Amino acid sequence: MEFDPAMLADEGSKVLVQEMTRTGWELVKGGFARVFGRGEADEATLAELETSREEVLEEDEELTESVRGMWKVRLRQRLKNDPEAVAELRALLDEIAPEPESRGGVTNIHHGDVRDQGILIQAGSIEGGVHRHTYQGDHVDMRGAKAGGDVIGTQYNDGNRRRKS
């Protein structure tokens, strides 16, 4: 089976960075070092992978994306220059992160309507949480306030002009 090196490099860099935060990192690190070292895990690649892991563990999203981008480029170059590395990486990825079908997949079913600004989310997994933010317009709560004089302004509710005071 033929694999597109660019797509495989993209998948490989995603899996690599994800695994940097997990307990099986030492095995994954060795596997990727072998892909770069033509079957042998060289010390320079192992050190670079460990440095990248330390950066990812800082939990800086921009830095993590930068690390992923760097390894994506390096994987793409490696796969382009050595067709045997394609098979090595594919085998490694199948071992680390098997295709969803082999893991049972995800099925989401929804019946009915989502109304009144409701939210429906269907996903296999969500990392980082889900947050709903809605803009309600500028607002100053004047309940209980004592003004030294007249209060002048315009009241808006849901974007509709209601009354002047």
Find the mean pLDDT for residues 70-75: 94
Domain ranges (residues) in the chain: 5-103
Percent of the chain with pLDDT over 90: 33
Whole-model pTM: value is: 0.57
d(CA 136, CA 83): 56
Specify the DSSP class assigned to residue 162.
E
Specify the DSSP class assigned to residue 160.
E
Q: How far apart are the first and last CA of the chain?
A: 73
Where is pLDDT greater, at 160 or 131? 131
**What's the CA angle centered on 24, arms 66 and 105, to 5 degrees?**
85
pLDDT in tens, 23-34: 888 889 999 998
pLDDT in tens, 105-130: 555 566 667 666 666 666 666 666 66
